[in-house]
Copies of this chain bind each other. A is one copy, B any other.
Amino acid sequence: MTAPLPTRPDGLWADDLAVGQTFISRTVDVSSDDIVEFAQRYDPQTFHLDDAAARGTFFDGLVGSGWHTAALTMRLFTEALPIATGIVGAGVDLTWPSAMVAGDVLHLEGTIDDITFSKSRPDRAIVVASHQTLNQHGEARQRSTARLLAWKRPD
């Protein structure tokens, strides 16, 4: 397979990336309306829907769905690491050390941990990127390690 067409012709190819390279995103604000709207569609549990009703439950109040944190993280990721052929994830491991709350101002900090070119398809690489989603107090709301596909810059 030759490299796919770029989705960002001015973006980064696998040979533009280096192990140890870091990236950082802009911030995104999280409101209670955002939290509730996401939850109504995708994760309609009490502690993601209603602060008063959530008192005494595990989170003891309104918190964002971890999948909402993950979705916002992806938005920041696509902007902070502009791979030419797009952010194409083969898989990801993630943890939520704490839950996102209304008023959080999130940003992403990441590092390229590994780049392995395929032996059978040497124009193609698996890029391992670890990243944290942090709020304005430095609290980690998500930690992730993603395995991404990238290609060498076409001749």
Interface residues of A (CB under 8 A from B): 4-7, 38, 41-47, 54, 56-60, 65-67, 70-72, 74-75, 78, 85-96, 149
Q: With a CB–CB cut-off of 8 A, which chain B residues contact A95?
A: 90-91
Q: Are A43 and B57 in contact (CB under 8 A)?
A: no
Q: Are A67 and B58 in contact (CB under 8 A)?
A: no
Q: Are A92 and B89 in contact (CB under 8 A)?
A: no
| A42: nearest chain-B partner, CB-CB | B71
Q: Are A94 and B92 in contact (CB under 8 A)?
A: yes
Q: With a CB–CB cut-off of 8 A, which chain B residues contact A91?
A: 93-96
Q: With a CB–CB cut-off of 8 A, which chain B residues contact A78?
A: 43-45
Counted per complex, copies of this chain come to: 2
- Tell me how far the C-beta of A85 lies from the nearest C-beta in chain B, rounded to whole angstroms: 6
Q: Are B71 and A41 in contact (CB under 8 A)?
A: yes
- Tell me how far the C-beta of A141 lies from the nearest C-beta in chain B, rounded to whole angstroms: 13
- Tell me how far the C-beta of A27 lies from the nearest C-beta in chain B, rounded to whole angstroms: 16
